[in-house]
Amino acid sequence: MANPLTRKLEAFAPLPEADRRLIDDICRNPRDVGPREDLIREGDDPRDVQLILEGFACRYKLLPNGRRQITAYLIPGDFCDLHVFILRAMDHSIATLSPCRAVAIPRHRVLELTERPAIARALWWASLVDEAVLREWLVGVGARGADERIAHLLCELLMRLRTVGLATDGAYELPITQAELADTVGLTHIHVNRVLQRLRAEGSITLKGKQLVILDVDKLMAFSGFDVNYLHLSESNGKKEPCR
Amino acid sequence: MANPLTRKLEAFAPLPEADRRLIDDICRNPRDVGPREDLIREGDDPRDVQLILEGFACRYKLLPNGRRQITAYLIPGDFCDLHVFILRAMDHSIATLSPCRAVAIPRHRVLELTERPAIARALWWASLVDEAVLREWLVGVGARGADERIAHLLCELLMRLRTVGLATDGAYELPITQAELADTVGLTHIHVNRVLQRLRAEGSITLKGKQLVILDVDKLMAFSGFDVNYLHLSESNGKKEPCR
DNA sequence: CGGCAACTTGACAATGCTCAACGCGGGTGG
DNA sequence: CCACCCGCGTTGAGCATTGTCAAGTTGCCG
């Protein structure tokens, strides 16, 4: 299968063959990381940039009150922190959720990437999308009810996984626990469980083990108020009117 | 008073005199905008970049359920969207909260800015800070109780306004309504009101009209779990240990 | 002085949380 | 190969925080 980074960047614009080869070259010698391992910790000085090739990782922050908030999922093709090396210390941590395959890219190789105009533009686009996703999560936690919030997240993951070839129709693997989901959407794992039961009972999804199937994608998107536009996929321009 | 953009960027690193002059030049001919006016709307094609010189503006998103979520405050020295012109359509709107003074910077002038290495680095830093702020808001809404959440926001605004010279000690002007605060922190305006009453009753703050005073800054920061590090101000390195 | 927007307060309802317990399944060690 | 254990998922009962509705007050601006 194609390199997930290439697939993702080409969702923005096609890359020259030489650029694709550079990406393949950079992704040699990946390493396997077990589940629930920190890749970078808050307070660390960021050095190498991590790129996820397989599995799920996340950004998270621990609070004095003992709670944890996950602020992003990193899926295959996502960079941990392309631009942070300008900062002295990480303000959050990054950990694997599932077992992952990742590459640590040294800074000089990152610069090789950003010297290629097509890649640079695509990475720029990708970082704008990451920010849009973050905003959308804030909108969810701040203004959507529990059911819509979780349904929205499932829709988002579907779309993101599709662009790297990891979802077909409405089905994909969701290798995280309900407790991790809870830390993502700002609910307790118990409440997350109840919401998932409800979504199953309604016939919206099936979820056995780690296999998720969204039975009627359009319906779930409508229910959760999901509007693809924020992912800025080139195909999806102007499908829906924004709310006024 | 110095240009707020200059002040903000110099919180990262000092700028050459020529760069400061360029910024001053770009900020000529600002325009005044009334309160509650949209600067850019979701769906619009982003063209000029807006820079706020005075007043408060915000990013926000409207939901099908009628709710609104504010995802960022833009204060003097903040750009609306430095990097978005690569995208075809805005995925959120930007509006003034208070009366504002702003400049619309055409794209070619933005490029003039980014061609100056010191400015480019500082803008890069600023955009990382914006993202960190966004993450912190998500953490607040997802994992902090109502009182801590609001207190945390007040602390953040204090620090941000200080770097542009708009706060002294614990006092600053907060030109927004409680309803707008509510849309920011994901609560109802009624609950926000109760929390503010509580903070007043405790002697943590005073708030008369738009004048906010944080009576004991350290105490409020401790209470809300505020850790300056995420703002990446150069002075504030390693003051606190992150939670583990 | 009138009017409107923002703020305030109270009573009640709902959403989501806490605590506690139990089932299920996969992996490990005896 | 079986028994145990531990992590994950599930369920119930009662509680807390926050939302809803409704009404009243304050204060500013014309």
pLDDT greater than 70 at residue A150: yes
Tens-place pLDDT, residues B48-78? 899 999 999 999 999 999 999 999 999 999 9
Do A87 and A178 have their domain in common?
Answer: no
Which residue from A92, A128, A137 is facing B83, i.e. has the nearest CB? A128
pLDDT greater than 90 at residue A135: yes
Residues of A in contact with B233 (CB under 8 A): none
Q: What is the pLDDT of residue A240?
A: 73
Three-class DSSP category at B61: strand
| Entry pTM | 0.97
- Residue B189's nearest nucleotide, by CA–C1', is C7
Residue A221 covered by a domain: yes
Instruction: Over range A102-120, report the average pLDDT.
Output: 95
> Rounded mean pLDDT of chain B?
95
Q: What is the pLDDT of residue B57?
A: 98
B80 band by pLDDT with thresholds 50, 70 and 90: very high
A105 — phi, psi (to 5°)? Answer: -100, 120
Q: What is the pLDDT of residue B236?
A: 58
Q: What is the pLDDT of residue B85?
A: 87
Residue A56 covered by a domain: yes
The C1' atom of D23 and the CA atom of B149 lie apart, in whole Å, by 29
Residue A84 covered by a domain: yes
CB of A191 closer than 8 Å to CB of A146: yes
Tens-place pLDDT, residues B112-135? 999 999 999 999 999 999 999 999
Tens-place pLDDT, residues B212-236? 999 999 999 999 999 999 999 976 5
Q: Distance between CA B102 and CA B88 in Å, rounded?
A: 23
Residue B135 covered by a domain: no
Do A24 and A105 have their domain in common?
Answer: yes
CATH of the domain at A34: 2.60.120.10
CB of A10 closer than 8 Å to CB of A40: no
pLDDT greater than 80 at residue B244: no
The residue segments making up the domain with residue B100 are: 4-119
pLDDT greater than 90 at residue A174: yes
CB of A84 closer than 8 Å to CB of A43: no
Chain centroid, CA B232 distance in Å = 14
Residues 6+ apart with CB under 8 A from B113: B22, B23, B26, B119, B120, B123
Q: What is the pLDDT of residue B235?
A: 64
Q: What is the pLDDT of residue A236?
A: 59
CB of A163 closer than 8 Å to CB of A133: no
Do B74 and B174 have their domain in common?
Answer: no
Count how many domains chain B has. 2
pLDDT greater than 90 at residue B143: yes
Q: Among the three residues A119, A137, A171, which one is the final residue of a domain in this structure?
A: A119
Asked whether strand C has any atom less than 7 Å from the CB of A179, the reply is no
Strand D interface, protein residues by Cβ within 7 Å: A 177-179, 189-190, 193-194, 196-197; B 145-147, 186-188, 190-191, 209
pLDDT greater than 90 at residue A123: yes
Could you tell me the two tokens for B210? Answer: 């738009």
Q: What is the pLDDT of residue B47?
A: 86
Tens-place pLDDT, residues A191-212? 999 999 999 999 999 999 999 9
Amino acid sitting at position B77: G
